[in-house]
Structure 1
Amino acid sequence: MNPFTEATGRIVLGGAGWSRQLITDPSSKPVLQTILHALSLGIRAFDTSPYYDPSEILLGAAFSSPEITTRYARSDLLLMTKCGRITATSFDYSPATIRASVLRSLIRFSTSYLDVVFAHDVEFVTRDECVAAVRTLFEMKDEGIIRHVGISGYPPAVLADRATYIRESLGRCVDAVQSYCHMNVQNTALKTVLPKLYGDAGVGVVLNASPLCMGLLRSGGVPIGELGDFHPAPRGLREAAAKAAEYVEGHGGNMASLALRYAVGEFARADKKGGGITILGGGSIEEIEENVATVKKVLKRGDGEGDGDLRGYTVLDEDAWRADEGLFNGVREILGEWLDYSWESPDAAFFDAKKREAVLN
């Protein structure tokens, strides 16, 4: 079952834009006003995580506000969060901690249920740890606390493996899988595992997050927040992305806009079963305005009508896609050897930290 397309179209708003990884002092941002504006444009699905500190707290406060609760029914919204990842190097997938995390999220959002809860970044734990966490989430689904259960992470092949193993181990399929940085103009590896996710694993819907590769595919370089430069892209990829941005600007375009059009359009072309759901960034009214306008340049309304609610924009505009094809090809040519490059996740630093932790304990 696809829990998204009918209610939300192809777009979800991500909450990482209110995290300390990406910006300085997220609590100073007008989160409520930004969410209200997103809702006015037709965005109805929102994704966050306790790990994106303090995003879940800020979003929870916004969605608990009478300014939202008096205008929108809870059933009009899709609220998604995650569990299991504590810090950059700390994970706890134990059943007790998973349950406690979900219950805390319910309190933060002042709701009796969550639409989707993902086990966060499953590549950092063993297959059996992942199964144990998902088993707990399935139990909470049976209790009516969660509507849909998902897993998230970086490497598409690992996500496909974990989702298949969950089905084999528990006899149940996860409803949703969320990947990031693997469906964009630099890397389209997510396409290669869609048959396994929808086939062997029986997944209901696949979501693509970070269509700008965590800010790499834009002018000006990666975003720097309170935690410094956390982006794992190596120097060569960063330099190639900067050259690609200069190329796009030289042709009168904007790299971030072009990259978003590619990500949304290519996923719509590739994912015929789940709908091709993209999680957009947007930590400000201006950014959301720009991103929604960009989506409307590559998608068109399924009912054939003109402008309007973003939820109606579900069909790829083939003419718009062909108009961009020359720039798409030019960018990918510049990226060259870095096409479909993926960094290691977990990386060597994670394993070094785990070794030090083991010695201390």
Structure 2
Amino acid sequence: MNPFNNKTGRVVLGGAGWSRQIVTDPTSKPVLETILHALSLGIRAFDTSPYYDPSEILLGAAFSDPALTTLYPRSGLLLMTKCGRITSNKFDYSPPAIRASVLRSLDRFSTNYLDVVFTHDVEFVSREEAFGAIKTLFEMKEEGLIRHVGISGYPPAVLADIAVEVKEKFGRAVDVVQTYCHMNIQNTSLKESLGRFYGDGGVGVVLNASPLCMGLLRRGGAPIGELGDFHPAPRGLREKAAEAAEWVENQGIGSSMASLSLRFAVGEFARVDEKGFGVTILGGGSIGEIDENVETVKKILKREGGDGDGDLRGYTKLDEERYKADEALFKGVRDILGEWVDYTWDSPDAAFLEEQKKLKE
């Protein structure tokens, strides 16, 4: 099942911008005002996680506020969250913990159902643990507490394996898959797994998160929040990304690396993902960032009717002419990235695996 339609559009606002991984003191941000502004632009789908502390708490308070609920009925919103990941190195996929996490999220959002709940970073746990958590989410879907069941994580190939195995084991498919950093100007390897997701996996829609590779593909590089530099990209990739950003600015086209990278991610995914039409999760923890990202999306997508008026939900078709106009710039950036094109880091990495091994000894 695909929860996205003409009421929700093809863009999601991600909640990591209100996490301590990304920013310092996210509680000081005007979250309600920012969410109301996003809604005024036509964004209707929102994604967060308890792991993005305190994002789920802040978003839950915003979506429970009468200033929002009186203007935007719950039925017109798509609220997504995750479960299973506690900290950077702690996971609890046990059925009781999964159920408790979902119930807590429902309470935080003051809602009696969530549109999508994902198992968070499912590649970090055993298949047995993953299946136990997914089974619990299927049960909560039957109870009406969840509309759609999803899995999320970094490596598309691993997520595709899990999706196929879920369908074989349970006789039903996960509805939504969310992966990140695999459909952007540096890495497009998500497209290699789309056939398995939509074919043997029976997945309804695949979401592409981190179109800027967790902030790496922009001037200034990856953001550093209260928890320090969490980005797993090696020095060589960071240096080439910075070089590419400087090259884009020196082209005298009035564009930035961030804008170009977002146009590529949204445009390329729309081009290759015909079934789900490339639903992209945008960043944006402030009104200014959301405005910039929405305007960028409108430059690479166009409305069904062909005009440029209206809110973001109407922008569902790839603007082929604009995509072609950007191709030389896309190629220039990827040429600079060179050997780092389609590079992926290990998830989980060796340090995590070694730590888990010691805990079991």
| Normalised-by-shorter TM-score class | over 0.9
Which residue of structure 1 lines up, in the alignment, with residue 40 of structure 2? 40
One-letter amino acid of the structure 2 residue matched with residue 310 of structure 1: L
Structure 2 CA distance, aligned partners of 1:159 and 1:173? 13
Structure 1 CA distance, aligned partners of 2:168 and 2:207? 22
Q: How does 1:172-191 map to 2 (within 5 A)?
A: 172-191=172-191
Which residue of structure 2 lines up, in the alignment, with residue 277 of structure 1? 279
Structure 1 CA distance, aligned partners of 2:5 and 2:333? 30
Residue segments in structure 2 that go unaligned for 5+ positions in a row: none
Structure 1 CA distance, aligned partners of 2:66 and 2:169? 43
CA contact (8 A) 1:127 1:165 kept: no
Which residue of structure 2 lines up, in the alignment, with residue 110 of structure 1? 110
Stretch moving more, 162-171 or 297-306: 297-306
Matched position secondary structure for 1:5: coil
Are positions 1:257 and 2:259 aligned together? yes
Which residue of structure 2 lines up, in the alignment, with residue 97 of structure 1? 97
Matched position secondary structure for 2:351: helix
Q: Post-superposition shift, 1:352? A: 2.2
Q: Post-superposition shift, 1:6? A: 2.3
Which residue of structure 1 lines up, in the alignment, with residue 142 of structure 2? 142
Q: Deviations over 1:280-332 (max 9, x none)?
A: 00000000000000000000001223221100000000111111111000000
Which residue of structure 2 lines up, in the alignment, with residue 52 of structure 1? 52
Are positions 1:9 and 2:48 aligned together? no
Structure 2 CA distance, aligned partners of 1:162 and 1:28? 39
Q: Post-superposition shift, 1:129? A: 1.2
CA contact (8 A) 1:25 1:226 kept: yes
Which residue of structure 2 lines up, in the alignment, with residue 335 of structure 1? 337
Which residue of structure 2 lines up, in the alignment, with residue 165 of structure 1? 165
Structure 2 CA distance, aligned partners of 1:307 and 1:323? 22
Structure 1 CA distance, aligned partners of 2:97 and 2:8? 31
Structure 2 CA distance, aligned partners of 1:325 and 1:148? 36
Which residue of structure 2 lines up, in the alignment, with residue 239 of structure 1? 239
Which residue of structure 2 lines up, in the alignment, with residue 293 of structure 1? 295
Q: Post-superposition shift, 1:127? A: 1.4
One-letter amino acid of the structure 2 residue matched with residue 67 of structure 1: A
User: What TM-score, normalized to structure 1?
Assistant: 0.98
Which residue of structure 2 lines up, in the alignment, with residue 87 of structure 1? 87
Structure 1 CA distance, aligned partners of 2:293 and 2:308? 18
CA contact (8 A) 1:181 1:213 kept: yes
Are positions 1:219 and 2:224 aligned together? no
Structure 1 CA distance, aligned partners of 2:59 and 2:8? 18
Q: Post-superposition shift, 1:355? A: 2.7
Stretch moving more, 349-358 or 260-269: 349-358
One-letter amino acid of the structure 1 residue matched with residue 280 of structure 2: T
One-letter amino acid of the structure 2 residue matched with residue 320 of structure 1: R
Q: Post-superposition shift, 1:351? A: 1.3
Which residue of structure 1 lines up, in the alignment, with residue 356 of structure 2? 354
Matched position secondary structure for 2:138: helix
Matched position secondary structure for 2:137: helix
Are positions 1:124 and 2:128 aligned together? no
Structure 1 CA distance, aligned partners of 2:5 and 2:292? 22
One-letter amino acid of the structure 2 residue matched with residue 169 of structure 1: K
Matched position secondary structure for 1:346: coil
Which residue of structure 1 lines up, in the alignment, with residue 201 of structure 2? 201
Runs of 4+ in 1 over 3 A off after TM superposition: none
Matched position secondary structure for 1:136: helix
Q: Deviations over 1:8-54 (max 9, x none)?
A: 22100000000000000000000000000000000000000000000
Q: Post-superposition shift, 1:258? A: 0.2
Structure 1 CA distance, aligned partners of 2:154 and 2:308? 36
Matched position secondary structure for 1:168: helix
One-letter amino acid of the structure 2 residue matched with residue 130 of structure 1: A
Query: C-alpha root-mean-square deviation of aligned residues, in Å?
Result: 0.8
Q: Post-superposition shift, 1:356? A: 3.3
Q: Post-superposition shift, 1:269? A: 0.3
User: What TM-score, normalized to structure 2?
Assistant: 0.98
Residue segments in structure 1 that go unaligned for 5+ positions in a row: none
Structure 1 CA distance, aligned partners of 2:287 and 2:133? 36
Structure 2 CA distance, aligned partners of 1:6 and 1:228? 39
Matched position secondary structure for 2:6: helix
Structure 1 CA distance, aligned partners of 2:221 and 2:96? 40
Matched position secondary structure for 2:220: coil
CA contact (8 A) 2:9 2:44 kept: no
CA contact (8 A) 1:180 1:213 kept: yes
One-letter amino acid of the structure 2 residue matched with residue 201 of structure 1: G
CA contact (8 A) 2:189 2:342 kept: yes
Structure 1 CA distance, aligned partners of 2:11 and 2:116? 15
Matched position secondary structure for 2:327: helix
Which residue of structure 1 lines up, in the alignment, with residue 314 of structure 2? 312
Which residue of structure 2 lines up, in the alignment, with residue 61 of structure 1? 61
